[in-house]
Structure 1
Amino acid sequence: MTGRTERAERRLAAGELVFRVLSSPRPRSEKPAVVLVHGIGVSHRYLSRLHAELAQTRSVHSLDLPGFGGLPKPVGDVDVPRMAEGIATVLASLDVGPVVLVGHSMGSQWVVEVGARRPDLVTHVVAMGPVADARHRSVFAQTAALAVDTLGETPAINAVVFTDYLRCGPRWYLAQLRHMLAYRIEDRAAALTRPLLVVRGSRDPIAGMEWCRLLRDRADDGSLVVIPGGHHVAQQSRPRAVAAAILACCT
């Protein structure tokens, strides 16, 4: 079981976008820090076990993005490039040097976009359970895949995810869902000049194997790790295996 990790919390603004940063620093570590970015509707809470696992050896920072996790919802539209610009501003303000930037689900879109725009801020980009799989680029298909995944996740994970969905609210969720379905992550993966690691749970119905292989192959320097027995939220159900994959590929 992953032990409790102390995390300092603060808010940082990038223009009108307000972020929450939860940090577990290791001042003596010479390895790049890891920054974790959640997906649509949720917050740092479903990254907490991965955060704790990684924090045993690395400085780790988990972000809550504007409109999620109880943070204020921005005025106006925030598409993937605009959110990525905000994340880049936060990374620069952390002043920890280039980081291993890890995103889950829609978070994969945000971190790939940051990596493509600001390679100076990252050493590696990690896409866990990346969306949107070419087979699921509709609201109906995404909803169906999410429903299947819910049946495979633990009650504890589902409780975290759905309480965060309630905090997010339908209006902001649907606004971001529109951007998620329109964003072509495979094209932006091809623009990366930093290594891309794709991580997929072997039982993930949202990010299929063929799709994850395609993303790996679109990157100039891509790799793929499959987590045995993991579903879409493998970072919370299999945190040790996911952390090991990240640390092995992103030294």
Structure 2
Amino acid sequence: MLPAAVVPGMTGPVRLEISAAGHAGHVFASREMAGGSAPAVVLIHGIGASHRYLRRLHRLLAGSMETYSIDLPGFGATPKPAYQLSIDDHARYILGALEQLGVAEIVLVGHSMGTQMALEAALQQPEQISNVVLMGPVVDPRHGTVAQMALALARDCLFYESPSSNAVVFTDYLRCGPSWYLKTLQVMMDYPMEQKIAGVSAPVLVVRGANDPIADADWSRRLAGLARRGRLLEVQGTGHVVQHNRALEVRDGILAFAGLGAAAGDPLPGSPA
């Protein structure tokens, strides 16, 4: 499907089936602000998930800027690749798909494992990525075993998530399937976030739900401090799936950070004093 199928003024995103870097995925595109200011915002999901838990944030952002959500190869309703993909592979898919769509300047927003892909894409094409937003970043190497991550995920789901966020996440896990999830899990666990973030030239905003046991406060502060131009936004009253449960606050934080909301340098909504 060609980008021309996206109609200005539409009420919802259009799904585009795009093959790039040797793999097939889906891009959900909204161009409600056709002719508006660059850059475009691109949303990347985490392990086992899809664009579905990004829908609320996508809809809110689409009122201010061109917005795209990507279902990476092997996730959502996309076909499973024949072999395990690296973070580098996923980043090349993201950049290749956006090149086909003619997106020249990008605010790249990743959630959970998607933060790793956002960082990698920013390292591959620094001239194209104007800002990077890391929501609920993983994996803190001090709590970097699968068992520790599973325990943190269980705590998050039981105590800090809404019924709707749990429903979306777990139905996507079922669609992903255990085989592809487990193939991807070790890739996520092995990615060196601390080393990678220091090489990113774009400004970086780290976003966490204040109750998130997966991306805890110390880890999130540390990542923001390691970035050349890093900031931290903590959103109260939610856990790991912050973009679903507090979509309005996250939208406002992204727009302010990208210079499309509050004036540059103004406090971000929800930021600690």
> Which shows bigger deviation, 237-246 or 74-83?
74-83
Counterpart among 118, 139, 142 of residue 135 in structure 1 = 142
Structure (1/2) with the larger helix percentage: 1
**Alpha-carbon deviations, 1:142-200, whole Å to 9, x = none?**
10000001012111111110000000011110111101100011111001011111001
Structure-1 residue corresponding to 2:117: 110
The answer to whether the Cα contact below 8 Å between 1:202 and 1:229 also exists between their aligned partners in 2 is yes
**Alpha-carbon deviations, 1:100-155, whole Å to 9, x = none?**
00000000000001001111221101100000022331110110000001012111
The answer to whether the Cα contact below 8 Å between 2:17 and 2:26 also exists between their aligned partners in 1 is yes
Q: 1:229 deviation in Å?
A: 1.0
> Which shows bigger deviation, 43-52 or 152-161?
152-161
Structure-2 residue corresponding to 1:207: 215
The answer to whether the Cα contact below 8 Å between 2:21 and 2:92 also exists between their aligned partners in 1 is no
Structure-1 residue corresponding to 2:264: none
* TM-score of the pair, normalised by structure 1: 0.96
Structure-1 residue corresponding to 2:161: 153
CA distance in 1, matches of 2:99, 2:131: 16
Q: How many residues align?
A: 248
- Report sequence identity in percent: 45
CA distance in 2, matches of 1:179, 1:137: 12
Larger radius of gyration: 2
**Alpha-carbon deviations, 1:179-232, whole Å to 9, x = none?**
110001111100101111100110001001111111111111111111111210
Alignment of 1:57-136 (within 5 A): 57-136=64-143
Runs of 4 or more above 6 Å deviation: none
CA distance in 2, matches of 1:198, 1:15: 28
Question: Within the alignment, does 1:192 sit opposite 2:224 as a pair?
Answer: no
CA distance in 1, matches of 2:103, 2:90: 20
> Which shows bigger deviation, 134-143 or 230-239?
134-143
Counterpart among 47, 56, 68 of residue 63 in structure 2 = 56
- Give the secondary structure class of the aligned counterpart of 1:78: coil
* TM-score of the pair, normalised by structure 2: 0.88
Structure-1 residue corresponding to 2:22: 16
CA distance in 2, matches of 1:15, 1:5: 30
